Amino acid sequence: MLKGKVAVVTGSTSGIGLGVARALAAKGADIMLNGFGDPAEIEKIKTGIASEFGVRTAYSGADLSKPAETKGLIEAATSELGKVDILVNNAGIQVVSPVQDFPDDKWELVLSINLSAAFYAIKAVVPQMQARNWGRIINIASVHGLVASVNKAAYVSAKHGLVGLTKVVALENAETGVTCNAICPGWVLTPLVQKQIDAWAERESISNEEAGRRLLTEKQPSKQFVTPAQLGELAVFMCSDAASQLRGAAINMDGGWYAQ
């Protein structure tokens, strides 16, 4: 389905991004990975995807808090893999604090990675997508792009902004073959969420298993984590011809969180 297409997936060395990268590769897309981590482990992931799915893979350690490096990521993918047909803006970080105590530098960092990086990557890639009259831009937002939670001012602001950016890019390309949509996950058991579970367990002096259960019970009616593989399959659909008129959508996969 995606053979001959090239996908850039930010934050794809673990968690949701890796799940999306694997799902796209399974359909034949060549993959540019991006993210931080142990170099040996990243090389293992890169070669593993190439071997398992028979696709080309590359890796960039671009720091997406820096606009020049975000632009460089698109340039590197174009240089190494020939073009960029699919852009998945997934990289994200979380900082939790009440507004009055929120560190200024952490606010700027969350916004730069969770929102501005998506803008700069889209800006860099849209011209070549428009030239070929085909492209898929998928922004991994969050249910927090649709609702709010306490102590997450920067994250919620960035994710709401990402949903808004999705709609603008979709409208600007509405008469082209370039689409832009957002996926809004609820709780996914990623390293980012695991840190919140660990903090909850420590704060309440309970087991990690109990902390995870409470986390789900508080927000997610299904009481089950969404999986990276499930999100990857939704991304695959968004890249399909069947989704060619899906434009500016923010689709939540959240175990019923937003339905409450």
Any residues with CB less than 8 A from the CB of 105 and at least 6 apart, and which? none
201 plus 239 within the same structural domain: no
Nearest to 228 by CA among 99, 27, 90, 125: 90
Nearest to 20 by CA among 173, 185, 212, 206: 185
Q: Is residue 181 in some structural domain?
A: yes
Q: Is residue 247 in some structural domain?
A: yes
Over residues 217-240, mean pLDDT: 96
219 plus 134 within the same structural domain: no
Alpha-carbon dihedral sign for residues 46, 49, 52, 53: negative
152 plus 177 within the same structural domain: yes
147 plus 121 within the same structural domain: yes
107 plus 204 within the same structural domain: no
What pLDDT was estimated at residue 39? 97
What pLDDT was estimated at residue 195? 87
- CATH code of the domain in which 60 resides: 3.40.50.720
What pLDDT was estimated at residue 50? 98
212 plus 109 within the same structural domain: no
Name the pLDDT band for 254 (thresholds 50, 70, 90): very high
- How far, CA to CA in Å, does 192 sit from each of 34, 50, 69, 248? 16, 26, 23, 26
- 184, 138 in Cβ contact below 8 A? no
What pLDDT was estimated at residue 192? 75
Nearest to 62 by CA among 23, 104, 111, 9: 9
Q: Is residue 260 in some structural domain?
A: no
Question: Sheet containing 135-140: which strands, arranged edge to edge?
Answer: 57-60, 30-34, 6-9, 86-89, 135-140, 178-185, 250-253
32 plus 72 within the same structural domain: yes
- Residue, of 218 and 54, whose pLDDT is higher: 54
Strands, E assignment, the chain: 6-9, 30-34, 57-60, 86-89, 135-140, 178-185, 250-253
Measured in whole angstroms, the distance separating CA 190 from the mean position of its chain's CA atoms is 12
pLDDT tens-digit profile of 48-102? 999 999 999 999 999 999 999 999 999 999 999 999 999 999 999 999 999 999 9
Over residues 6-14, mean pLDDT: 97
Over residues 222-245, mean pLDDT: 97
Instruction: Flag whether pLDDT at 198 surpasses 90.
Output: yes
- Catalytic position from the list 59, 120, 155, 258: 155
- The number of domains in the chain is 2
Instruction: Flag whether pLDDT at 187 surpasses 90.
Output: yes
Name the pLDDT band for 8 (thresholds 50, 70, 90): very high
- Residue, of 130 and 196, whose pLDDT is higher: 130
What pLDDT was estimated at residue 245? 98
Q: Is residue 52 in some structural domain?
A: yes
Q: Is residue 90 in some structural domain?
A: yes
Name the pLDDT band for 190 (thresholds 50, 70, 90): confident
Residue 221 belongs to domain spanning: 187-225
How far separated are the first and last CA of the chain, in Å rounded? 36
What pLDDT was estimated at residue 191? 80
User: What rounded mean pLDDT belongs to the chain?
Assistant: 96
- Token pair 């990289």 is found at 91
195 plus 106 within the same structural domain: no
What pLDDT was estimated at residue 123? 98
98 plus 174 within the same structural domain: yes
pLDDT tens-digit profile of 146-176? 999 999 999 999 999 999 999 999 999 999 9
Name the pLDDT band for 189 (thresholds 50, 70, 90): confident
Nearest to 223 by CA among 231, 213, 237: 213
120 is catalytic: no
Instruction: Flag whether pLDDT at 24 surpasses 80.
Output: yes
Over residues 229-244, mean pLDDT: 98
Q: Is residue 258 in some structural domain?
A: no
157 plus 218 within the same structural domain: no
Instruction: Flag whether pLDDT at 44 surpasses 80.
Output: yes
Q: Is residue 204 in some structural domain?
A: yes
241 plus 204 within the same structural domain: no
What pLDDT was estimated at residue 13? 96
